[in-house]
Structure formats: structure tokens, C-alpha cells
Amino acid sequence: LSEARRHFRRAVRMHPDEHEFQFALARVEYELGNLRRASRYLGRARSIGPAHYAERYQAKLDSINEARER
């Protein structure tokens, strides 16, 4: 996961407007237990991704935010 995070961070730096890289990085951060970072990257993915992804990203973001509140 650490290696995946390194690669996706690089991808995000190179292509900051690519929502799929933001989402992938959010998933890695989630798996590593970094919920705050996962939320941040998911929020970015939601804001830059196509409209038909917004609901999907928002649902995942809501789940993470609920987990953070526990």
C-alpha cells in the first residue's frame, strides 16, 4: 500500500485534474487508516469528476465521515 500511495501521489501531482487518480489515492489512504486524507482526496475527486460520479463519491465520502465521527 505504501508503494501504491507513492505512485498515486505522483500521478496526482502530474495530473491533478484526473478524478480517477484522486479516487485511487483516497482508497489507498482509507486502507492505510488515514481517514482524513481519504476524505480530502475523495472530496477532490467529487469536485473535479464527471457529474455521474458525484453521487458515488459523495456516498463514499459520507461513509468515511461517519467512521471519523465514531
Cβ-in-10-Å burial (0-12, 13-18, 19+) of 19 comes to buried
- What's the CA gap between 13 and 64, in Å, rounded? 24
Q: What percent of the chain has pLDDT over 90?
A: 90
- What's the CA gap between 68 and 62, in Å, rounded? 10
Residue 20's pLDDT is what? 97
**68 pLDDT more than 90:** no
Residues 21-45: tens digit of each pLDDT: 999 999 999 999 999 999 999 999 9
DSSP H or E stretch at residue 29 = helix 19-31
Which carries the bigger pLDDT value, residue 65 or residue 32?
A: 32
- What's the CA gap between 9 and 20, in Å, rounded? 12
